[in-house]
Chains A and B, each alone.
Chain A
Amino acid sequence: MFRAVEAIESYWWGWRCRRCGNKLRRKFADIPCARCNQTHVYCRNCVEMGRVLECQPLYVWTGPHPTWPVRGKACGWDGELTAAQQQASNRIREVMEAGVGELLTWAVCGAGKTEMLFAGIGRSLEAGKRVCLATPRADVVRELLPRFRHAFPDTSISGLYGGSEKKAADGQLVLATTHQLLRFARAFDVMVIDEIDAFPYHEDPSLPFAASRAAKSASARIYLTATPRKKQRRRLEHGQLDSVFVPIRFHGRPLPVPRLILSSHMKKSLQNNMPPVAFFNWLKRRHHPERQLLLFVPYVELAGNMEKAIGPLLRDKLGDTVIASVHAADEEREAKVQQFRNQELQVLITTTILERGVTFPSVDVVVLDAGHAVFDEAALVQIAGRAGRSPDDPEGEVLFFHAGKTKAMVAAVRSINAMNNRAVKI
């Protein structure tokens, strides 16, 4: 039932790892193997999942695919979709029912992407198909898991991410990070990839490799994004990729458009771990001081230092404001984000880790040094998309403080305006 294949293929130009598809020369290294007293090549790219070594073959399953019975209604979700969502949902369902094809769902931040998937996924599960929803980020898997368990109560669902308790991937519906897809080969009839433009999916070539191998050769592939990258846009323009567009949020209000504010002493203020003067001027005249404040900074050290520097100042100005900072390696990250969500914190200083996938009901968003290279167009659009997500407070101020406009900032504003214009036309 298993066929052994070479773990690392050797070519005239180098090697290729059969597990992660890595071809980069610098990501292979030699190891003197104590088992066969020879020097072997191993792949450093996927070594975290256990070393792939030249002398140990990989095994490919050649037996029958697991089957699930055809059955009655699988989806227990009975919420309502807006007209735009409904249209996208229908398109997604059609592609999933057809069983072959690609579809890019381009939906603005806060459009309600997950709900649009339910109908199609429900149909696929009823037909006995195996479905995978992959996303680059583990937080998102953790957040989606209970929602899917609730929406598909009778389906076996596996959640896979680095550090997840259960590693068994035997569910009919698999929610996984894109890294975990390296465990699969030709396993899914329906493959949904959320946030295809997010880090690290768009930067690490082994992840698209994993995603395309995990899907069967005849499979429906659905991509979700709010900010397609150049690669996808090019395919759209050339008509190589079908798409459906959802330019409007589920509450029907336009996206907040960022305001670019020049502050020429940016560098100097940031060196002192302080926001620029313009920020304090704005803070004094804020229209809705009751909103929480989400403050994006370009790098990790600044987040912590600024918290210490402006904590006392803000407490003076906003009363007993509670302030915190988070970054990717922060151990209390989840707890702090949860506190902010519960409105126990007034101000949260963060790096780009909170740029997507998180929803706070009522925030103003500020980016400091928006000209920094980490804030590319996609990041800025996503950051702006954190504001005004709740129907109770569908607006929110978005400010980019900069020391000189960059192409990314201009492009982000333009693309948000373009989406708002398209939304009006519907």
Chain B
Amino acid sequence: MHCLWCDKEMVTEVHWGSLLLPDRVTYLCRECEAALEKLDGYLCNKCGRQVGRGGETCRDCRRWEQLSQWQGVLTQNRSVYVYNERMRVMLAKWKYRGDYKLREVFGIGLQDTFRKAFSKHLRKQAVLVPIPLSEERLYERGFNQSEAIIDVLGKPAEQLLTRTHGEKQSKKTRRQRIHTENPFTLIKPTDKPVILIDDIYTTGTTLRHAARTLKSHGCPEVYSLTLARS
């Protein structure tokens, strides 16, 4: 096996466990694995970023909840990794350069967080909805990163939304993002709880827009799972 990121050859250590237990699949070498930081410890109740003490809500989320039109739109977000320098480079290569295969790297982490963050009941009931790309963007990229994430989770994806073409979120400031119009339209309403899937939670605007669209058509509750929290 070679590391999916740095292409270094990985030598698996042989010990008693490797005789008795099935191989743990690894995609990254030890150094690259260590460069990715998992979000753990005390997390914000709402958005899942790291905070100082348990049971806290971070300032960003309190600001969101103060606005009446956004209050309670998104029940909870959970993310897998800290958006550090390595994550930034990896996401860029995966999304923009289009190295589709890299999604496998995130598989184990995604599954862990998915299981830890959401109750069994919710996991059974909820439908996984990818944040859609506009047609133009999908043509440009060749794949939708949110669907790719659902694919490595090994779950079925439900396309409930479409998106009209706009400027890239990553090219805007926080203010511009929050005051954009809702780019999502509903294709099909649902009466089950929804877990929205996206690659990165930055200000939470995209996810809240999608959540509002779903909720205004009868969806009881919207959660979200993203790969990174910046």
A44 contacts B143, C-beta separation under 8 Å:
no
- Judged by DSSP, the binding face of A is mixed
Decide if A295 is an interface residue (CB 8 Å cutoff). Answer: no
B2 contacts A26, C-beta separation under 8 Å:
yes
Decide if B70 is an interface residue (CB 8 Å cutoff). Answer: no
B101 contacts A35, C-beta separation under 8 Å:
no
Decide if A190 is an interface residue (CB 8 Å cutoff). Answer: no
A47 contacts B139, C-beta separation under 8 Å:
no
The 3 nearest A-B residue pairs measured at CB: A29-B101, A31-B100, A51-B98
Given contacts A26-B2, A47-B93, A48-B93, contact A34 B101 (CB under 8 A): no
- Residues in chain A within 8 A of chain B (CB atoms): 26-27, 29-35, 42, 44, 47-48, 50-51, 53
Given contacts A26-B2, A34-B138, A35-B139, contact A44 B99 (CB under 8 A): yes
Which residues of A lie under 8 Å from residue B100 when comparing CB positions? 29-32, 42
For the side of the interface on B, what is the size category?
10 to 19
Which residues of B lie under 8 Å from residue A32 when comparing CB positions? 100, 143
CB distance from A37 to the nearest CB of B (A): 11
Decide if B79 is an interface residue (CB 8 Å cutoff). Answer: no
Which residues of A lie under 8 Å from residue B2 when comparing CB positions? 26
Beyond contacts A42-B100, A47-B99: 4 other A-B pairs, Cβ-Cβ < 8 A, are A26-B2, A31-B100, A48-B93, A53-B142
Decide if B97 is an interface residue (CB 8 Å cutoff). Answer: yes
A-B pairs with beta carbons under 8 A, tally: 41
Which residues of B lie under 8 Å from residue A29 when comparing CB positions? 99-101
Q: How far is A51 from B139 in the complex, measured between Cα atoms in Å?
A: 13
- Residues in chain B within 8 A of chain A (CB atoms): 2, 7, 93, 97-101, 138-139, 141-144
Can you list 15 contacts pairing A with B, beta carbon distance less than 8 Å?
Answer: A30-B100, A30-B101, A31-B98, A31-B100, A31-B142, A33-B143, A34-B142, A34-B144, A42-B98, A42-B100, A47-B93, A48-B97, A50-B97, A51-B98, A51-B142
Q: With CB as the reference atom, state the residue of chain B lying closest to A40.
A: B142
Which residues of B lie under 8 Å from residue A31 when comparing CB positions? 98, 100-101, 142-143
Q: How far is A44 from B138 in the complex, measured between Cα atoms in Å?
A: 20
Which residues of B lie under 8 Å from residue A48 when comparing CB positions? 93, 97
CB distance from A152 to the nearest CB of B (A): 35
Q: How far is A33 from B2 in the complex, measured between Cα atoms in Å?
A: 25
Which residues of B lie under 8 Å from residue A26 when comparing CB positions? 2
CB distance from A25 to the nearest CB of B (A): 11
Q: With CB as the reference atom, state the residue of chain B lying closest to A33.
A: B142
A34 contacts B97, C-beta separation under 8 Å:
no
Given contacts A31-B143, A32-B143, contact A51 B138 (CB under 8 A): no
CB distance from B153 to the nearest CB of A (A): 16
Which residues of B lie under 8 Å from residue A30 when comparing CB positions? 100-101
